[in-house]
Structure 1
Amino acid sequence: MSRLYGDPIEVWTRDGQPVQFVWHDRLHAVRQVLDQWVVAREWWKTSERDPGERRFWRVEADPGGRLGTYELRFDTAGEDWLLMRAWD
């Protein structure tokens, strides 16, 4: 079962891929990227300087002994990371 969150998170990346993130004061080490995709913003909300993409990753991560699945989102407009969804 999945839960929706939309919580801000701090993410470390390597070669553009998330490798770890902090959520609820716990460090989650990404073990595997399961899927990734890009969603373009509506054309009227973009500009040449800011194409306004949202990049998503579904990852398996370990917050210390229990592997879980998480959906992360990076918004290129504000350079913000959010944890969108988590699976038990």
Structure 2
Amino acid sequence: MKAYQHDIQVQVQDQQPVRLTWHGQTYRVQAVIDEWRAGGRWWLGERPRTCYLVQAGELTAEVHREDGEGGRWWLARLQD
């Protein structure tokens, strides 16, 4: 997988990502392959986050959401 770390827009339903928009293109999430929690690097001030591995159109993507109100979403990696 190739690392990106780019902010993305994500539509959520029942606390799961259902659509993501990256580089102006919207992809429908067909499957959440895996979901896990990461504590964040607290010593750098990172908040804990929820991570998802999703199949969205032709993309297999790892997306992360920071915990808390207004937590940002970002594209962590894409499968090559």
- TM-score norm. by structure 2 comes to 0.86
Q: Which structure 1 segments of 5+ residues have no match?
A: 47-51
1:49 is matched with none
Q: Which structure 2 segments of 5+ residues have no match?
A: none
| RMSD, matched Cα | 2.0
1:19 Cα deviation from its structure 2 partner: 0.2
Percent of pairs with identical residues: 31
2:51 is matched with 56
What SS does structure 2 have at the residue aligned with 1:85?
strand
Which letter does structure 2 place at the counterpart of 1:81? W
1:68 Cα deviation from its structure 2 partner: 2.0
1:39 Cα deviation from its structure 2 partner: 1.2
Supply the distance in 2 between the matched residues of 1:53 and 1:4 (Cα, whole angstroms).
19
1:1-88 to structure 2, matched below 5 A, reads 2-41=1-40, 42=42, 45=45, 52-62=47-57, 67-77=58-68, 79-88=71-80
What SS does structure 2 have at the residue aligned with 1:79?
coil
The structure with the larger Rg is 1
- TM-score norm. by structure 1 comes to 0.78
